[in-house]
Amino acid sequence: MTRAEDIYTPPPSRPADAWRLVPPAERVVRWYEEMAQRRLPRPTGTVLGVRLYAQINHGRWVAGCPECNSAQIVTPDDPRMYCVECLSGWFVVVFPTDTAAAEATVERQPVREQNWWNPDDDTAWNRPPPEQPPEREPTRSPLPADDGRQR
Ligand SMILES: [Zn+2]
């Protein structure tokens, strides 16, 4: 599965390992600064009381910003997210204890169907509703309905 360190990489004009000392969750900030050609503020600390659930979306580990609904690629190797769209601060990102097991549930699917949600995450807008048991056909009596009249 694609993680932050796979996608937020230095531009081709720089050595591929130029950001090797940048923590994986912070590489999106460097990447965004390169793309936008401007500096971003660097908040410290963590937004308290908010935990974001990581999900696998089309083969990527993704978390959504609760402030602006933007999303970015995250990594279990540095489970934090700083939204570079609204600059909302650092959020704690919750990954499953066994990320390999979560990845294994979808890795044989086509990329567009490699989607996984944390069982505890009931906030994801794109999560399909739980499957309902199939409706049973109404039981049909072989006898005509008894309308109560004497015959
Ligand atoms: Zn945001």
pLDDT tens across the length of the chain (151 residues)? 999 999 999 999 999 999 999 999 999 999 999 999 999 999 999 999 999 999 999 999 999 999 999 999 999 999 999 999 999 999 999 999 999 999 999 999 999 999 999 999 988 888 888 778 777 776 666 666 666 666 5
* Three-point CA angle 4, 81, 18, nearest 5°: 45
Residue 79: helix, strand or coil by DSSP?
A: coil
Residue 145 lies in a domain: no
Note down the domain range covering 77: 4-113
Residue 130 lies in a domain: no
Q: Which residues pair with 116 in a beta bridge?
A: 56
Residue 8 lies in a domain: yes
Residue 138 lies in a domain: no
pLDDT of residue 150: 61
71 CA → ligand 1 middle, Å: 8
Predicted structure pTM score: 0.83
106 CA → ligand 1 middle, Å: 27
Residue 137 lies in a domain: no
Residue 136 lies in a domain: no
Residue 141 lies in a domain: no
Residue 142 lies in a domain: no
Q: How many domains does the chain have?
A: 1
